[in-house]
Amino acid sequence: MWTSFLPLALLAPFADALLRFPCSQLVTQRFDPLVTPGQVSPHIHQIIGGIMANPHLRSATIECVGAFYFIARSQLFTLWHRFNLSMDPSLDLSSLATCTTCRFKEDNSNYWTAVMFFKHPNGSYIRVPQIANAATGAPNGGMTVYYIQPQSGERVTAFRKGFRMIVGNPMLRTRTVDPNSAQGRALTFRCWGAQGANDPQAQSAPGTGPLDTIELPNRACAGGIRSNTFFPSCWDGVNLDTPDHSSHVAYPLGTVPAAGLFFNPGACPSTHPVRLPLLFMETVWDTRPFNSMWPTDGSQPFVFSMGDPTGYGHHGDYVFGWEGDSLQRAMDTCTDIGGNPPSCRALTVLSDADINRCTQSVQVNERTTGYLPALPGCNPIQPGPAQATMPASCDAVSTTGGIGGSVPTPPPAPGTTQVPPAPGTTLAPPPPPPAPTQPPAPQAPAVPKWGQCGGIGWTGGTTCVAGSTCQRQNDW
Ligand SMILES: *[C@@H]1O[C@H](CO)[C@@H](O)[C@H](O)[C@H]1NC(C)=O
Ligand SMILES: *[C@@H]1O[C@H](CO)[C@@H](O)[C@H](O)[C@H]1NC(C)=O
């Protein structure tokens, strides 16, 4: 099956092979705890990987929680998803995860990228569905993740607890690096022909073939578009993260060979001497349903969620979350040339049903599906070539209805009109809610987060502090 990705001739140089596995989609919403901790992020990401049970879960019955429900194995859990708005790096996230959308049970990492939208000729936007990659089983969307050993056979050092990094820059709208450098080949797109991954032209390694471009393809792709996202594979050996989330890692030196980054023999620079597994992600966008609606002026109609119609702003984020030393063990012992998951005895393989059952509900109170008048958040289309800028003011939802946020603003009362803010001004606070017709009954003090707020025989307060809501755990 691997031959549908890379010809065997190309694989021959591999010394220690790789892991290749699907992770289904966990959630798609405006979250980005690396770049905008504690806030709703400017644009939508699709997130894959691990999820975490609420570490604050008490035996108390009905609690004020800023969380959401997740149903797994017939039990109702209130989860405090570890992909929350802050992600404390000191926690051992892997030990707190209750499920993962990745094929290996040990992998509770999170991976995320921007999502693609189709801009209809009438100006509306709709999300481009994601489909499973070839030979990955039947994950629900998501991505294919690779951890690749260097061609040299040099031993890799697995990422550590607390490690995180970002590749790419969502504000870019033009090429800024040498396309033959490793960095210049890190983020590419493959325009699939009608046979998808089986197309004879699609047999080259990612980022190298005649179907691959650094910008979004300028033609309708009969089989869809695959994003290829390579992370830097050299580490400074010291910092688990840096303020820009990227200067603790670097690309190998030298010019990338024709066979691409998979087979890059480049050495790590002296500033970043520690060789990491080459982390690589593929995302398959099912652009096929939109090909018949291609604009008559020939312009390509796909945009990323940050208002990027070029593809240069494509980016990927990684937060390590493998259990214990499982990734290191896998890198040391799993040598299947195609990275086929069952061949890696060091790890536990989950079924498609297992990974597809692990999902999170959207917490940002906005619509992101169906035809939309604009991209969610404040993401006007900025075609460049200048770097994109953040709009000075923005009336998009900036809090969640649950975690860490305030209760969503109620819709305006019928008959009132809302005056749009003048550009550059900040939003006035929302109008106060209409006065209740009955005077409110005297209220018990608001129940703090994680406090009990109901249950059989409960006589205490039932109103939660702002930012949390009363949710049922059980009746007692
Ligand atoms: C995020 O999750 C951690 C546990 O992983 C928790 O300690 C923290 O309070 C949460 N913060 C927010 C803002 O959700
Ligand atoms: C654009 O077309 C789509 C698909 O027919 C439709 O759902 C959407 O409402 C249209 N938008 C506008 C602004 O007419």
CB distance 197 to ligand 1 below 6 Å: no
Q: How far apart are CA 220 and CA 301, in angstroms?
A: 9
User: pLDDT value at position 36?
Assistant: 66
Question: Distance from CA of residue 43 to its chain's centroid?
Answer: 11
Among all ligands shown, which has an atom nearest to the Cα of 122?
A: 2
CB distance 88 to ligand 1 below 6 Å: yes
pLDDT category, 57, cuts 50, 70, 90?
Answer: very low
Mutating to test ligand 1, I would choose from 84, 364, 468 the residue with most ligand atoms within 8 A of its C-beta, which is: 84
Question: Which residue CA neighbors atom 11 of ligand 2 most closely?
Answer: 124
Q: List all residues 6 or more positions away from 185 whose beta carbon is below 8 Å from its beta carbon.
A: 179, 207, 208, 214, 230, 256, 260, 261
Backbone φ and ψ for 93, nearest 5 degrees, come out as: -60, -35
By the 8 A CB rule, do 86 and 93 touch?
A: no
Q: Which is more confident, 448 or 121?
A: 121
Number of neighbouring beta carbons within 10 Å of residue 33? 22
Among all ligands shown, which has an atom nearest to the Cα of 56?
A: 1
Mutating to test ligand 1, I would choose from 86, 363, 403, 449 the residue with most ligand atoms within 8 A of its C-beta, which is: 86
Question: Which residue CA neighbors atom 6 of ligand 2 most closely?
Answer: 371
Q: How far apart are CA 58 and CA 262, in angstroms?
A: 47
Report if pTM > 0.85: no
Of ligand 1's atoms, which has the minimum distance to the CA of residue 66? Answer: 14
**pLDDT tens digits along 197-255:** 888 878 888 888 788 999 999 999 999 999 999 999 999 999 999 988 899 999 999 88
**pLDDT tens digits along 4-23:** 344 333 444 454 689 999 99
Q: How far apart are CA 211 and CA 205, in angstroms?
A: 11
Ligand 1 centroid vs 83 CA: distance in angstroms? 9
Residue 11: which H helix or E strand, with range?
helix 8-11
The amino acid present at 10, given as its one-letter code, is L
* Percent over 70 (pLDDT), the chain: 68
User: pLDDT value at position 313?
Assistant: 94
Of ligand 2's atoms, which has the minimum distance to the CA of residue 124? Answer: 11
Q: Which of these, 41, 35, 32, 27, lies nearest to 398 by C-alpha position?
A: 41
Ligand 2 centroid vs 322 CA: distance in angstroms? 44
By the 8 A CB rule, do 290 and 301 touch?
A: yes
Residue with tokens 């393809």: 217
Q: DSSP secondary-structure letter at 41?
A: -
CB distance 45 to ligand 1 below 6 Å: no
User: pLDDT value at position 423?
Assistant: 36
- In this prediction, residues 89-117 reach a mean pLDDT of 83
Tokens for 51?
């999820």
Q: Which of these, 157, 146, 112, lies nearest to 6 by C-alpha position?
A: 146
By the 8 A CB rule, do 224 and 309 touch?
A: no
Among all ligands shown, which has an atom nearest to the Cα of 290?
A: 2
Among all ligands shown, which has an atom nearest to the Cα of 371?
A: 2
Of ligand 1's atoms, which has the minimum distance to the CA of residue 81? Answer: 2
- 3-state DSSP percent of the chain in helix, strand and coil, to 5: 10, 25, 65
CB distance 91 to ligand 1 below 6 Å: yes
Provide the 3-class DSSP secondary structure of residue 328.
helix
By the 8 A CB rule, do 251 and 207 touch?
A: no
Among all ligands shown, which has an atom nearest to the Cα of 405?
A: 1
The residue count of the chain comes to: 476
Ligand 2 centroid vs 300 CA: distance in angstroms? 18
pLDDT above 60 for 431: no
Ligand 2 centroid vs 366 CA: distance in angstroms? 19
Question: Distance from CA of residue 377 to its chain's centroid?
Answer: 16
By mean pLDDT, which of 251-260, 263-272, 283-292, 407-416 is the weakest? 407-416
Q: How far apart are CA 3 and CA 413, in angstroms?
A: 61
**pLDDT tens digits along 297-333:** 989 999 999 999 999 999 999 989 999 999 999 999 9
* Residues whose beta carbon lies within 6 Å of some atom of ligand 2: 120, 122-124, 371
Of ligand 1's atoms, which has the minimum distance to the CA of residue 52? Answer: 5
Among all ligands shown, which has an atom nearest to the Cα of 373?
A: 2
Q: How far apart are CA 56 and CA 96, in angstroms?
A: 11
Max mean pLDDT range (21-35, 36-50, 163-177, 457-471): 163-177
CB distance 85 to ligand 1 below 6 Å: yes
Where helices occur in 323-455 by DSSP H, the ranges are 326-333, 352-357
User: pLDDT value at position 311?
Assistant: 96
Q: How far apart are CA 189 and CA 214, in angstroms?
A: 6
Q: How far apart are CA 224 and CA 131, in angstroms?
A: 9
Ligand 2 centroid vs 296 CA: distance in angstroms? 17
By mean pLDDT, which of 33-42, 52-61, 344-353, 373-382 is the weakest? 52-61
By the 8 A CB rule, do 215 and 221 touch?
A: no
Tokens for 50?
């691990």
Of ligand 2's atoms, which has the minimum distance to the CA of residue 373? Answer: 13
Ligand 1 centroid vs 67 CA: distance in angstroms? 10
